[in-house]
Structure 1
């Protein structure tokens, strides 16, 4: 997809598994990001940055800015203006498994044969993803060491050897070059191509209060250097030539960096073809056809690429507890290798607990099993080192192993309350994420690998985070705001779900003691949930409870939707939503009100905090992809799929990826990328915001609200392959004639599902590979609550016996069958 407006205000990424490049869509590299002020862009190979950017010139004229930017699957392309009488285009991509990025400049000579001079500038910035530039962080980003540059006769070579205060010695290196030998090479700090090299600090005389990124070429912590390479291009008449420039590096020294450069330049054309093919392969899974909603169909298709772009790997993570940047001790241990799905670009590219636990639902929906499995392994490995195997899941892990928040430790606040250094929600959600992967893959080995940690997760919560013994866990949840009670709604909801999921895995493993404990405790807490948490005064659920006495606190935070969003697995049956139908439907309808949700022309998604809510009584009318996803999935669990219900929120999620009204009908930033925060009453579009005050232009977890909604709710795919079972019970949204999905990955195979509604006839067709591993298959359809089923036909045979049950979704009608191709027609009145 392409865009041609305000390119200097739009960020983009080209990413591989070992490196990524973040620039702007005019083809240049301005300062952006806030974790390390202005330094979160450029070319990175986790855990280190290599360069701020690269720039090209022809015959002493700088190329660009671009006139059109194209976001491709696995690559970025720039249409550039003619330069020195030559036609120019650029393609960026990052080969998977290589610690380097490739920039391909294609030069076409429309005239007579000629010799042209190609100039390449690169500006280095060798620094880690941590430390950050916040006040009180030790060491601080301001302690960044200066880079050293050299020209070795073929490449620009940048090194940074030494140690930050209190940190171990590092050996960072980056090498920039092409397969050709330059005619000249030079080094110096002035090389920023067409950009003047202006450094923004926020304090320089005459500086605007909130400059756009394009006003800033560097931030206050930059201590890089630069260089220029020049080449002679022999251009035949009417001919084209593509010059591939590589930026490669390593945190293991110069020899390793040179090896990465050699890998990157070995065969760039073949590497680009392989990259495109790998992304096409990801695209081929979960091929949707949604004739009544092509916007959501496109959102899921591009969401696959977002998840893949954010999938990264690093090695030798030194696990150290920095206590929110207040210390930098010796590491407690090492994780040799970690693969994860990053939370977002540019400021959250590393490992998170809660982000992954939501992203997992999107990942399984589109068949990307391996990355999310590895992410859970990384969380377990890091958490066990950091927290001495207590079972607490860490919150945030930078790719060098530094941990800002997420240790099993506590202190006392000035008011006497407990200050936690971890979030309870991440620990109670972990077993459910393992169970989710187990059900979709049927991988008993993965379940068994993660089982001990999952048991320790919930045993810890029960033993250490329920001091008053009322069943409601204490500690921080996903809403990181003050003024809440010690017992949070989302922690409670996910604790109940986690206990049921742990019980399910325990039963399959014949661990009777764990099954009995988890199942009984889940049932007891669930039975008391609605009576304790339903806040009748607002017809919503309380956000938290104040102790003593479980006094309800209602601040209108988005977590009020989690009782409808969370799905339980009880006695082998899927239960969509913890809240009873009456309360769940009422609460969902209430959140559609302008107090809680935005209105056009801004995003119609869900606010972080409704009007008049929050500790200060003002509310936070900021719309996040996650908050909107929670509302979307809640609506789907209660059969509310229409235009003013779930579709309102799926479209709010999809609009910023393609053509949102707030940006004049163009994407928020990168075409096809779902951002972290959408245009909101309290926060405008990213492209209108300053260089350090933007949200992520690509974030993973929002894809939960689109991919899971379609695959799990509309198509009704409910795998339980760990127990050898598959249920397919679709629910087509009102006003849409049909919904279908081909090549949906399940277990070791694939399934196709098609569902349609014509009048009172509900049709479901499936084709399930035997390789899926489902010994038992149920095919069905969800019809409106209160319907009477008058006829059920399976594969042309009228049935006299079928199963029906009323859930929060509606009346689910199912019949047993086996793997293979089948068609069911349900007639209901």
Structure 2
């Protein structure tokens, strides 16, 4: 905006986007220099600190994982704004919004100031809007100066790999064409020739500009060494930095009670100057309109899966922010050169080029790329929150990379950097067995929520091959239980891991469900028979009577119990049998015993802000000393596991959903973001940790423990649209009387569910769109185990023969209804 008239003295209104309301923002004003943040789009992102500065942080490339990125390329360490001879800030308040972040700065020379960062989706550019407001009656003329310090650096190699980040080449800076140009051309030792470019310019023509070795705003350029334990605010660069600096200056005259914005774009490409110029030009076309469009896009996501949880407003708010987290982490990379780098020990010629891959990145700042196990857990919140396209693309990309890398063996690759480097998961390394057996379940999940047969068919053969690979190659003793690493990568465990066994059974049933619909009788029978065989002997094999837990691995015929969180997976996994959904693999009595014990102080936190599940119990782990660290994933597994057994009360599911929800709203780092590791007895908060020893401040897979318990378990949304079926069987948490949700995306339509439970009366009100392919809709309620349905009515008329199923959740009472429209089912328990 060149100029903007303030409304009377309501100066703050000039700083608010037109669509912003309090519920759409979350703010923090303490310890801002210790808290990281991100503004993200699908092709670029900016990771800085909430005081508006850019300190070095991250460990994959020591100190370089923050800053401004257009994957697979880092563009710059940061950007800084100043006024006349002084630098602006530090900020006094930070705000997370839908699709943008904002910093409020102290006034200078009578002017009010703030900065808004956002990334237009599809653009390899970040936009920074520095807004100044003049609340006085006198005009003011000032000079806005903008520093940018480049760091043109690929996402791979890393600090400890061969070749390594030490081969980073020096950047060259120039002031030209009304902006700054940074280039990095050449061939690093052991690497490939590259042509990197970053460009910086504004919608305005600068009055002056210059380049030089410094230009980090108010930051002195302090370089920290690998191994230093400094807090991030001490470190302006790491040991591999070879960037260049530049400054642009703009003269502004602000009239009485007016505001102006200086928009600056940082854009770039790993394909040379011409490609970077296209990105820059597109970014600078009406930034205000692009910001409005970005907010509108995120508002559309926010309008899906809108829940009303009067008994737990914090969980409701966290679920809403989870939609934005998944969107922030949805990334697209192009021209991925697929090569196996053997855990950083090799750099061979690529075996294939993937033209385009869209995926939900694991976490910021060190895991912003494609992972298998992360995505397979993230699939659950993605479908529950209606973000179908992102998870479809993720699974499709994972299939393509895995087949290219592993010559169609069926083995799923583990970690794929945005340049195509595959760190782990080739045929020649152990890989992670759980990732292969979870893949068919993720495909089936998406198929059930979308009804998309074409998606299922594209990934069907690969799903078959993943299971055949595991059962044929990773079961040396032929006992049915696969060998190999699972999600817990710790020493001392036996060859056969519990989570691999659990997810293999689930994966076989899920594949059989897809095979049945495709009338592939041979594969349906194979998968079903093997799943039934393994399920029949599961309890005898894995239940540890002495520990009253499931053993987390087997060494030969001996159970090994290290108290890892994967002991909860038998309760967390939901099976799909011919008769429908079967929540929980574990025997109900053993499940109750194990879950009760996991809620004790030895296994879960006691801090009211973090009651989550520890990585291991207090006597667990390889050395028996315990790892009392709470991950957002471990708490998710516990939340879902309790939900599968109808344990929704305050000391059951709620303690774990709260464990994930509360840190998003009373944040360790970024408000509204769910971190990878929560402040725990075994690991202090990220804001108290050093510049290279922090976990991710935003991690995708933890949303599993927020969205899935609410949408799937409490609201009871259980689609199987691929087979034309939908069940809406809510279960109101103990101690609450009502839960509701609307705009829940299902196929090409949506549904709304409201459930009330008062005394012996259960009332479920649903509204369902006309959904393509839906032929069988059942609505009802889930009663507590042991209860009986005395009367059931549908839209006021008595139902003589409702369907009643006893499950691990409780007693599911349902009625077949017309497949669209509004319907009310009332169940009275007797």
Q: TM-score, normalising length from structure 2? A: 0.96
Residue 513 of structure 2 aligns with which residue? 504
Does 2:147 match 1:121? yes
Residue 206 of structure 1 aligns with which residue? none
In structure 2, how many angstroms separate the alpha carbons of the residues matched to 1:87 and 1:785?
A: 61
Q: Is the 8 A contact 2:326 2:700 kept in 1?
A: yes
In structure 2, how many angstroms separate the alpha carbons of the residues matched to 1:36 and 1:162?
A: 20
Residue 662 of structure 1 aligns with which residue? none
Q: Is the 8 A contact 2:198 2:267 kept in 1?
A: yes
Residues 586-625 of structure 1 aligned to structure 2 (within 5 Å): 586-601=593-608, 603-625=610-632
In structure 1, how many angstroms separate the alpha carbons of the residues matched to 2:818 and 2:476?
A: 49
Residue 133 of structure 1 aligns with which residue? 159
Residue 825 of structure 1 aligns with which residue? 826
Does 2:168 match 1:167? no
Deviation sequence 1:343-365 (CA, Å, 0-9, x none): 00000000000000000000000
Does 2:645 match 1:638? yes
3-state secondary structure, aligned to 1:71: strand
- Residue 650 of structure 1: which of 657, 662, 678 is its match? 657
- Residue 403 of structure 1: which of 404, 417, 422 is its match? 422
- Residue 548 of structure 2: which of 518, 534, 539 is its match? 539
Q: Is the 8 A contact 1:748 1:773 kept in 2?
A: no
In structure 1, how many angstroms separate the alpha carbons of the residues matched to 2:714 and 2:774?
A: 21
In structure 2, how many angstroms separate the alpha carbons of the residues matched to 1:655 and 1:752?
A: 26
Q: Is the 8 A contact 1:746 1:772 kept in 2?
A: no
In structure 1, how many angstroms separate the alpha carbons of the residues matched to 2:737 and 2:63?
A: 49
Deviation sequence 1:632-653 (CA, Å, 0-9, x none): 0000000100001100000001
In structure 2, how many angstroms separate the alpha carbons of the residues matched to 1:220 and 1:676?
A: 26
Residue 4 of structure 2 aligns with which residue? none
1:297 deviation in Å? 0.5
- Residue 533 of structure 2: which of 514, 518, 524 is its match? 524
3-state secondary structure, aligned to 1:621: coil
Residue 68 of structure 2 aligns with which residue? 43
Deviation sequence 1:434-483 (CA, Å, 0-9, x none): 00000000000000000010010001111101111111011000001000
Q: Is the 8 A contact 2:35 2:49 kept in 1?
A: yes
Residue 745 of structure 1 aligns with which residue? 745
Residue 188 of structure 1 aligns with which residue? 212
Aligned residues: CA RMSD: 0.9
3-state secondary structure, aligned to 1:650: helix
Show structure 2 runs of 5+ residues with no match.
1-25
3-state secondary structure, aligned to 1:607: coil
Q: Is the 8 A contact 1:153 1:185 kept in 2?
A: no
Does 2:445 match 1:436? yes
In structure 2, how many angstroms separate the alpha carbons of the residues matched to 1:383 and 1:17?
A: 22
Does 2:268 match 1:244? no
In structure 2, how many angstroms separate the alpha carbons of the residues matched to 1:621 and 1:634?
A: 20
Residue 90 of structure 1 aligns with which residue? 115
Does 2:196 match 1:177? no
In structure 2, how many angstroms separate the alpha carbons of the residues matched to 1:142 and 1:221?
A: 6
Deviation sequence 1:779-813 (CA, Å, 0-9, x none): 11000111121110110001111111111101111
Residue 465 of structure 2 aligns with which residue? 456
1:153 deviation in Å? 3.8
1:572 deviation in Å? 4.1
Residue 721 of structure 2 aligns with which residue? 721
- Residue 178 of structure 2: which of 154, 168, 174 is its match? 154
Give every structure 1 segment of 4 or more consecutive aligned residues whose post-TM-superposition deviation is greater than 6 Å: none
In structure 1, how many angstroms separate the alpha carbons of the residues matched to 2:685 and 2:774?
A: 46
- Residue 83 of structure 2: which of 49, 58, 75 is its match? 58
Residue 6 of structure 2 aligns with which residue? none
Residues 765-784 of structure 1 aligned to structure 2 (within 5 Å): 765-771=765-771, 773-784=773-784
Q: Is the 8 A contact 2:226 2:238 kept in 1?
A: no
Relative distance call for 1:444 and 1:781 in structure 2 (3 A) is same
- Residue 489 of structure 2: which of 468, 480, 486 is its match? 480
3-state secondary structure, aligned to 2:537: helix
Residue 678 of structure 1 aligns with which residue? 678
In structure 1, how many angstroms separate the alpha carbons of the residues matched to 2:115 and 2:648?
A: 43
Deviation sequence 1:231-255 (CA, Å, 0-9, x none): 1112212211011000000011011
In structure 1, how many angstroms separate the alpha carbons of the residues matched to 2:300 and 2:707?
A: 17
In structure 2, how many angstroms separate the alpha carbons of the residues matched to 1:215 and 1:772?
A: 57
Deviation sequence 1:145-178 (CA, Å, 0-9, x none): 1101101140100011112222221111000010
- Residue 236 of structure 2: which of 217, 239, 259 is its match? 217
Residue 302 of structure 1 aligns with which residue? 321
Show structure 1 runs of 5+ residues with no match.
204-208, 411-419, 660-666
Deviation sequence 1:242-273 (CA, Å, 0-9, x none): 11000000011011101101000011010000
1:772 deviation in Å? 5.0
Relative distance call for 1:158 and 1:572 in structure 2 (3 A) is farther
1:179 deviation in Å? 1.6
In structure 1, how many angstroms separate the alpha carbons of the residues matched to 2:609 and 2:665?
A: 14
Residue 433 of structure 2 aligns with which residue? 424
Does 2:299 match 1:280? yes
